[in-house]
Amino acid sequence: MSYQIGFYFFLFLTAGLLSAIFTVLAKKISLKYGFYDDPGKDSLKIHKMPIPFLGGAAVLGSFLLCLILVWLFKPGHGIAFDNSALIAIFVGSVIAWFYGFWDDTYWQDRKKIKQSAKIFLQIPIVLILALIFYNAQIKYQFFGLSLFGIFLAALCFLFIENATNLQDGLDGLASGIIFISSAAFFIFFVFSQNLFAASVCVIISGALFSFLFFNWNPASIFLGNNGSYFLGFLMVVLAIMSSQPGRFFYSFVPYLLIGAPIFNVFYVFAKRGAVGRSFFSADRSHLHDDLFKATKSVTKSVVCIYFMHLVFVALGLFIIFKLK
């Protein structure tokens, strides 16, 4: 057991170091090639100066390299998994990141399209992701219907990726929330003896812990849509890996570990619906926006949502272990 703890610690430090190095590189590349979020005349933007948005690329690079380390070292650390599972996570991460990068670089700056259209175009992508994971045996298995499981996984990818993207509205918010979620999933997988999934959680945690030093207010780099879609994708992967065949309710309790982004979606939809606005309209009606208006502080608003998220996480872990 101590040997495994040492390996987790090694992965955490390695992911953190690589993330820091890649974040510095991402900032330089962003400024050189114009990959930055320019507030311009957009009244919805809080920041006043252009900020690089390739933070997601830094976290992705760290994550993928550490996945390779897990594959290289698994024989000596008792980490059992099918290589197809690692390949699915590797390929799926790249696909989810690239969709977000396309959004950052093309849809945001060159060709403005509605959010509803973006979601419609995302549907075939999440279906492909669900099929990839179904073939890798990372899937929902309910009622003996494979198509139902594939559709359900695709729906979760679509919802959580966009929920994470919506959550990324203040410095350090989405990255800190996903850090907390990955740490919670780590606790679950360690007690479940799923060492591969626990390793994935450690890598995400290490990469985000380091990235937060750059993303904390005042942020010098953002996750970007590329980062938020990628991290939302990973949260769904961990939630599916937490599920059990035939246990429908139990398999959706892990989504409490991603509670804050999900709560924010319903909060926003309720506010927009109450005034007759489109659910997909762009505004500052999010929970973090309202907290920012009340506190006049990015840090206080972010910390408040961290605490709320910790309540969801604690409740989720309690129910999971109670039902287990």
User: Tell me: the pLDDT tens digits for 21-33?
Assistant: 999 999 999 988 8
Parse the chain into domains and list their residue ranges: 2-255
On the question of pLDDT at 162 being above 60, the answer is yes
Residue with the bigger pLDDT between 38 and 103: it is: 103
Q: Is a pLDDT exceeding 90 seen at residue 16?
A: yes
Confidence of residue 285 (pLDDT cuts 50, 70, 90): confident
7 pLDDT band, cuts 50/70/90, is confident
Q: What is the pLDDT of residues 93-103, one digit of tens each?
A: 999 999 999 98
Range 261-298 burial, b when 16+ CB lie within 10 A, else e: bbbbbebbeeebeeeeeeeeeeeebbbbbebbeeeeeb
Give the chain's mean pLDDT: 89
Q: What is the pLDDT of residue 75?
A: 61
**Amino acid 275: pLDDT:** 79
Tokens of 281: 């309209």
- Is the model's pLDDT at 303 over the cut of 90? yes
How far apart CA 112 and CA 115 sit, in angstroms, is 9
Residue 40 has a pLDDT of 61
Eight-state DSSP code of residue 112: -
Chain centroid, CA 5 distance in Å: 24
Over residues 294-313, the mean pLDDT reads 96
Over residues 123-139, the pLDDT tens digits come to: 999 999 999 999 999 99
Mean pLDDT, residues 60-67: 97
Count of alpha carbons within 13 angstroms of residue 23, beta-carbon side: 26
Q: Please give the Cα distance from 154 to 151 (Å, whole number).
A: 5
> Which position has the higher pLDDT, 271 or 56?
56
Quickly state the pLDDT bin for 227 (edges 50, 70, 90). Answer: very high
Average pLDDT over residues 70-82: 74
Q: pLDDT exceeding 90 applies to what percent of the chain?
A: 67
DSSP secondary structure code for residue 279 in this structure: T
